[in-house]
Amino acid sequence: MSRIDSLIAAMTLTEKLGQLTMATADSAITGAVMTLDLESGIASGEIGNVINLFGAERVHAMQRRALENTRLRIPLLFGFDVIHGHRTIFPIPLGEAALFDPRLWEASAREAAREAAADGIHLTFAPMLDVTRDPRWGRIAEGPGEDAFVAQMMARAKVNGFQGTGLADTASLAACAKHYCAYGAVTAGRDYAPTEISVRSLSEVYLPPFQAAVAAGVATIMPAFTDIAGVPMSAHRALLTDYLRGQLGFKGVLISDYNAIAELINHGVAADLAEAAALSLKAGIDMDMMANAYRAGLPVALDRGLVTMADIDAAVGRVLTLKEQLGLFDNPYGRGGPESATSLAARRQQAREIASGSIVLLKNDKDALPLADGRLALIGPLADAPGEMRGCWSAAGIAADCVSVLAGLRFALPHQSIRYAEGVDIDSADESRIAAAAALCDDADTIVLCLGEAANMSGEACSRAHPGLPGKQNALVDAVLARAKGKKVIAILFSGRPLVVPQLAARADALVAAWAPGSEAGNALADILTGHAAPSGRTPVSWPRAVGQIPIYFGERPSGRPANPEDHYTSKYLDEDNAPLFPFGHGLSYGDIAYSSLAVTPALAREGDSFAVSVMLTNRGPRAITETVFLFVRDKVASVTRPLLELKDFQRKALQPGESGRLRFALPASALKFLDANMRPVFEPGEIEILVGPSADRARLLVQTVYLA
């Protein structure tokens, strides 16, 4: 008999339910505050898993309580939200997505895992793989943006980065793919709201990132808070057990979100906690996070015949298997201990390079950037706000460890005059300091505005109906632009989402999307602003001109009446352009890139063939750059309507001034299969457009037509 079978055979019902219960400590708050009497619950075997505790000394002390006081001496599992770094904070995931570099996505997860494991952590609740096309939703900050292919690539990279060479490695964490699934499609961008999506969208957009995570060997998966077509994910047996475990072969642990099982009562599908617990267990959820539903509800459900002991034993077996895979039975104190100063310094340098690469130069008129020599006025509520640079979900990050924009520029430009004024708070009605801040423009050669959201304005429970500049920041912008009198004005936006800022984009000479850059924010921005590094970030999500365009994304299906300004009865707005302010993939550099000589062979392919796609790039500018190149396809005539553009690959290429180089893609013809009207994958003969270029702006794409046989 295996160790796990022996333990299950020896367990009381209370001890079994303890292994299915996850309770919170007090190192961070990641949900509604509830108390499950943690220490006594651990000692009695009623709690077998803990979140929100970090620090090797504290973690090991609690682990000793379990191992020395419980009857069966089963080790605790410690989980924490290591979303974009642990103590060293990398850019928020949406910012990291702007890198379009799976190698760096994996590297940051690897470093975060090492740092968190040194703090005693075993499990991270990342990566978040929710495809999101609505920037009103605050959790867009935590994910890969609007495209399913990008999300799949990020899923593989992050799972591999967190889990490393294997779960038993004491420098690795068990990853948790979340939120399964379609959480990014919540109604009106409102957190926790229902989702209304088609089976096609579910299958083609929202499920593929989780398919990729399972294929990469993800250890755990977290269902979403929401429902799909009336069935809450915490009770969705068809998607959790039949599809995820049955069709995809997922063998890991399903962990509920915070209090989600008890919330089945609010959803209206369970009358009490016993019914809620039974629904979730039967659906396939193994571990109950902070609802106390399994511990309190499953004994009642057993008595009512709603669940069986075999159901409970199966879930316990999966939890114990995860603990065994993590090496906790044989080495329960293996994670934890100091790291070398060399490792910490290298991690900070990596955070700086990744933050620099995540920054997107959205606009650069009059060569406003890089900064020229001269006096600088640095104005805005986010110019000297180190804590805000962390962004959402940086629970172990310390504000004082972050570099502000002011500090970064003063270090990078020690001999240059830099005068600073906050002007306004991020989100208040106070305008009393605007005039004094604008007056700094009089003695400046260049003005840099640092604007945007506070860290706590994105993430969970941070939906915004008006995702523009909060507070009186627009009044500050007006005052500065009126006072600037033709001087160059550079606006840097800090946010967890695309902001709706069409007027600022039109009036500023340069516009920079910095997202929330993390610990090395100021240094990374100084690298970009001074030209020490060239901007290479590309936006992973479309930027709307107006809230009324939302949701907005490049992969839209064609209309029978495409927009035509000469025809009233076509698909367009009366009061706004259809096009985004900035399209998916947009981002400028300090170079001047020319695309030419697109070549695709063969001209005719069968399902087992592969297309060789190549394009010539030439850097006609004076600076070295790194260009991101996107490969899209368009199936012009099919049995069901296909998107106007589908992303199939992307690559980056570094080019020196004056250098030309050919970039090559291999596109399997099988990648052009799609789901037919009966939701079955098909490979249909016909005409296919291959499109290559710098963004999803079709006017900037080179096109060649090929055929499928």
On whether the CB atoms of residues 518 and 80 are closer than 8 A, the answer is: no
Q: b vs e for 652-682, b when ≥16 Cβ sit within 10 Å of the residue's Cβ? A: bbebeeeeeeebebebebeebebeeeeeeee
26 is catalytic: no
Task: Yes or no: say if 659 and 613 are a contact pair by the CB < 8 Å rule.
Answer: no
Q: Burial level of 474, CB count in 10 A (0-12/13-18/19+)? A: middle
In a 13 Å sphere around the CA of 614, the CA atoms on its Cβ side amount to 11
The sign of the dihedral angle between the CA atoms of 285, 286, 290, 291 is positive
Cα separation of 105 and 168, whole Å? 22
CA distance to 80, 431, 553, per residue, from 75 (Å):
17, 56, 46
What does the H/E/C string look like for 536-558?
A: CCCCCCCECCCHHHCCCCCCCCC
Q: What are the backbone angles phi and psi of residue 301, rounded to the nearest 5°?
A: -60, -35
Distance (Å, rounded) from C-alpha 121 to C-alpha 52?
A: 9
Q: Which helix (H) or strand (E) holds 649?
A: strand 646-655
CA atoms within a 13 Å half-sphere pointing along the CA-CB vector of 675? 12
Q: How many residues can be counted in the chain?
A: 709
Whether omega before 532 lies within 30 degrees of 0, making that bond cis, reads no
Q: How far is CA 39 from the centre of its chain?
A: 34
Three-state secondary structure of 303-362: HHCCCCHHHHHHHHHHHHHHHHHCCCCCCCCCCCCCCCHHHHHHHHHHHHHHHHHHCEEE
CA atoms of 579 and 386, how far apart (whole Å): 35
Residue linked to tokens 């475990």: 245
Which one of 257, 286, 288, 635 is the catalytic residue?
A: 257
Phi, psi (deg, nearest 5) at residue 37: 50, 70
Q: Could you write out the DSSP letters of every residue in 221-242?
A: EEE-SSEETTEEGGG-HIIIII
596 residue type, one letter: S
CA distance 170 to 150: 29
Q: So which residues are the catalytic ones?
A: 257
